[in-house]
Amino acid sequence: MIKKWLRCKKGFTLVEMLVVLMIISILLLIAIPNMTKNNEVANDKGCEATVKLLQSQVSVYQLEEKKAPASISDLVEGGYADQGSCPNGDQLELNNQLVVIKPS
């Protein structure tokens, strides 16, 4: 009776499991580089949005304080901005023409 039960037992063979693992590995090799590329694009877009926001806050600072900010830190200290950096950590600066730039 035990021999009959063992013969009827269904399951995956080692070869079938290796094929499935190979397919999953190939899919991961395709998917992972695409996800890292999407993160870079998101960081770039987030930095662009931060630059635009800070640029508008420079104008607001000029209108309310009746003077130009000397640096991004003036905006942060005055409560016009939360931070002077991009979401990815790049610091932003204010040039002589009062334009927010990302230094290289």
24 pLDDT tier (thresholds 50, 70, 90)? very high
Give residue-wise pLDDT tens across range 29-61: 988 887 777 888 888 888 888 889 889 998 998
Average pLDDT rounded to a whole number, residues 74-83: 87
How far apart, in whole angstroms, are the C-alpha atoms of residue 72 and residue 57? 10
Query: Alpha carbon of 13 to those of 4, 25, 36, 68: distances in Å?
Result: 19, 19, 35, 74
Structural domain spans, the chain? 43-104
